[in-house]
A and B are shown apart, each in its own frame.
Chain A
Amino acid sequence: MRRLRTCFTGRVTAPPLSAPLNISFDYTRSLGPVLGPFMTGLRDRRVLGNRTADGRVHVPPLEYDPATHAPVTDLVEVRPTGTVTSWTWTDRPLDGQPLDRPFGWALIRLDGADTALLHAVDAGARERMHTGMRVRIRWASERTGHIRDIACFEPGADSADRAEAAGEPVTIMTTPIRLSYTHTTSEDESRYLRALAEGRLLGQRCPVCRKVYVPPRVCPADGVPTEEEVTVRDHGTVTTFCVVNVPFAGQRLDPPYVVAQILLDGADIPIPHLILGLPADRVRMGMRVAAVWRDPASWTTSPENIEHFRPTGEPDSPYESYQEHL
């Protein structure tokens, strides 16, 4: 049994806020002159290795010869049957793995190859796995030119599957990558977010340079935690800005709109935010603005409690008052 030590540091507060962060993209991998034919072969139920200058046949193929560094162009077809050279067993498959029931991972040397390929073996039970076992490819029913055209391997000494040439050469494979994280904030950031949930903007002053940071953080100039809490007003001055005219993925507003750096009264570092409530071409450096909060009933520990900033109608701040913040 593992025993765990716990350690408590710093002031006692509510635990830092955390939330899921999921990233997901379908990567498009261009394959080139070696991996392209290999993937094309898999689509057609053929396994192509290649032969390096020393005569060894590599499956999966190598793009460059490790000894001569030359491109490896000599493609060689090998059998869809092979021998397990190493294995392990997975009781609880992870998201994205070839099988969703317990299975074996194995290094498999296909007949005709000198190196081994990593793939899954649908053996049913751990007890059936052993080094030296004979396996054959189980092809996926739908094949696109992808390593997953091999659905998995299965125990067996021979194969009746026949290759079928079909279609254009494969040049690109698509690989989805989906990852889930928990993003954890610092204690300072959590205090800031909890204050936001109460409609307050919280800053903290650096004990060394005396500058007020919003949101609070370790002072990036001095490398020390900021500690003294300072309430900052939800009014401020536009230091600089850009007019976003370009549409892009994930955008929430229709262009054009203004994203500005806003120096809140009492803070020493600007925050970025939207300026709405006037035409984009009327926004000015030095313009006085105020936060427009959402309905208090919807407030959470989120900067989204502030919907945007609007002009206050006060006279513009003189350039000298914010020129140190550009």
Chain B
Amino acid sequence: MLAAVLGTGQTQHRTRRTDVSMAGLCREAIDRALIDAGVEWPQIDAVVVGKAPDLFEGVMMPELFLASSLGAVGRPLLRVHTAGSVGGATANVAATLVRAGVHRRVLAVAFEKQSESNAMWALSIQPPFTAPIGAGAGGYFAPHIRSYIRRSHAPGHIGALVAVKDRRNGALNPYAHLRQPEITLESVQASAMLWDPVRYDETCPSSDGACAMVIGDQAAAEASGRPVAWIRATAMRTEPTFFAGKDHVNPRAGFEAAQALWQAAGISDPLEEIDVAEIYVPFSWFEPMWLENLGFAEAGHGWKLVEAGETRIGGRLPVNPSGGVLCSNPIGASGMLRFAEAAMQVMGRAGEHQVEGARVALGHAYGGGSQFFQMWVVSSS
């Protein structure tokens, strides 16, 4: 059975959205999604909520207290949590509910209100009997970036090129947390080296934000007066955080998810056939790494697409025209923002950051220790 994104909505993402409660944050995104989809509350059959760790907000299963505000009372309500990939997983679960013929229209919403606590604190709670190595948030990923550079012989400025591109794209996105039209290669390279080889301007912010979308079946899509984003294929893969022989640079779970995705979408050459990609890039160097993992480039060659400017808007494969995770990072919503931007692009509703003629788009999310992968391909027809 077919499923389509009927509409999307998101909040203004900021370090602290002290003007709203958790319910208010979610509803800002939901109300925009309902308007964008042209859907009224009574037409919603079920609600799927996605969020990363409950310790961020200090509420155990917050969907319970939010049930009424999210319009879920009397309806089925699911709460997904698959670490950083959760926003993507939430959209995929909603798509499955529609594709199974269980529901006609499902509301999916993902959020994180990180200013209620401190994500660094929540993620670095040290259980007893473990060594207090103390590397901090970027300390987990920086060594793997070093491995990538060693393996691919990528020049040192590739990460900075990605940061410049994404931050300038973010300046085109009215919802983005960081909007830096003036950023340059030099300014990124002059920013502080936090976790060598990762510089300050190459890292994502901590944001409050939410994203919502309405996913409907064929009848709902056809009843919509506006263009929709047809969900051509979804894919997910998981592998353990650590195991002997784990490839942290090019994880097999991501590679296999992408291969399954392309096959299900009938895509044989993703670089040719995908018009725009929203890829989960929390540290700039992950753009070339994921380009390889996703099969847009051979292993070791992803950085060449970046260096050639092919991932800019107007390039061969525009990547993260929204500005991506590097510009807005409400963790629980970050994955859904990628999926939503892919839909917005093929619906022609991406505003200033619209990629001309985008008809087929990728949404990608990952989480944990590069181990949970969620993806979809959406198209305009």
Contact = CB atoms under 8 A, between A and B. Distances in A.
Direct contact of A and B (CB under 8 A): yes
A259 B242 contact: no
Contacts of A1: none
A33 B18 CA distance: 11
A75 to B, nearest CB: 15
B120 interface: yes
A324 to B, nearest CB: 6
Given A27-B117, A240-B146, A304-B132, A268 B245 contact: yes
Contact of A177 (B58, B133, B192, B198): B58
Interface string B66-93: 0011010100000000000000000000
B68 A19 contact: no
Interface stretch (B1-9, B137-145, B310-318, B358-366): B137-145
Interface stretch (B96-104, B121-129, B178-186): B121-129
Given A19-B129, A326-B249, A242 B21 contact: no
A272 B117 contact: no
B132 A269 contact: no
Contacts of B247: 326
A240 B195 contact: no
Contacts, number: 180
A202 B243 CA distance: 17
Contacts of A171: 18-19
B113 to A, nearest CB: 8
Contacts of B128: 18-21, 183
B244 A172 contact: no
Contacts of B241: 220
B24 A32 contact: yes
A221 B146 contact: no
Contacts of B17: 30
B135 A66 contact: no
Nearest to B16: A30
Interface stretch (A106-114, A132-140, A158-166, A246-254): A246-254
B134 A251 contact: yes
Contacts of B136: 244, 246, 248, 251
B244 A32 contact: no
Contacts of A221: 240, 243-245
B196 A245 contact: yes
Interface string B53-71: 0010110000000001101
Contacts of B24: 32-33, 63
A17 B129 contact: yes
Contact of B116 (A27, A269, A280): A27
B151 A326 contact: yes
B219 interface: no
Contact of B120 (A213, A248, A323): A248
Nearest to B200: A246
Contacts of B268: none
Nearest to A281: B196
B21 A31 contact: yes
A19 B249 CA distance: 35
A242 B196 contact: yes
Interface string B141-180: 0111011001100000000000000000000000000000
A311 to B, nearest CB: 18
Given A209-B244, A242-B138, A242-B146, A303 B18 contact: no
Interface string A276-299: 000010000100000000000000
B134 A252 contact: yes
Interface string A165-191: 000000110010100000101000100
Given A269-B243, A326-B147, A249 B121 contact: yes
B23 interface: yes
Interface in B229-245: 240-245
Contacts of A27: 57-58, 116-117
B133 A274 contact: yes
B342 to A, nearest CB: 28
A304 B133 CA distance: 9
B143 A261 contact: yes
A143 interface: no
Given A242-B143, A249-B120, A23 B245 contact: no
B57 to A, nearest CB: 7
Given A64-B69, A193-B129, A268 B142 contact: no
A268 B244 CA distance: 5
A242 B139 contact: yes
Interface in A73-106: none
B244 A175 contact: no
Interface string B12-38: 000011111101100100000000000
Nearest to B24: A32
Given A64-B68, A326-B249, A245 B195 contact: yes
Contacts of B19: 30, 32, 171
A30 B23 contact: no
Contacts of B195: 242-246
Contact of B127 (A21, A71, A268): A21
14 contacts: A27-B58, A29-B116, A34-B21, A209-B244, A220-B240, A221-B240, A242-B197, A244-B136, A246-B138, A246-B195, A250-B124, A250-B134, A302-B129, A303-B130
Given A25-B118, A239-B147, 8 more contacts: A21-B127, A25-B55, A32-B24, A240-B146, A242-B146, A242-B197, A246-B136, A303-B129
Interface of B: 16-21, 23-24, 27, 41, 55, 57-58, 68-69, 71, 73, 113, 115-118, 120-122, 124-139, 142-144, 146-147, 150-151, 192-198, 240-249
Nearest 9 interchain pairs by C-beta: A242-B142, A220-B240, A19-B128, A243-B196, A211-B244, A303-B131, A32-B21, A268-B244, A326-B147
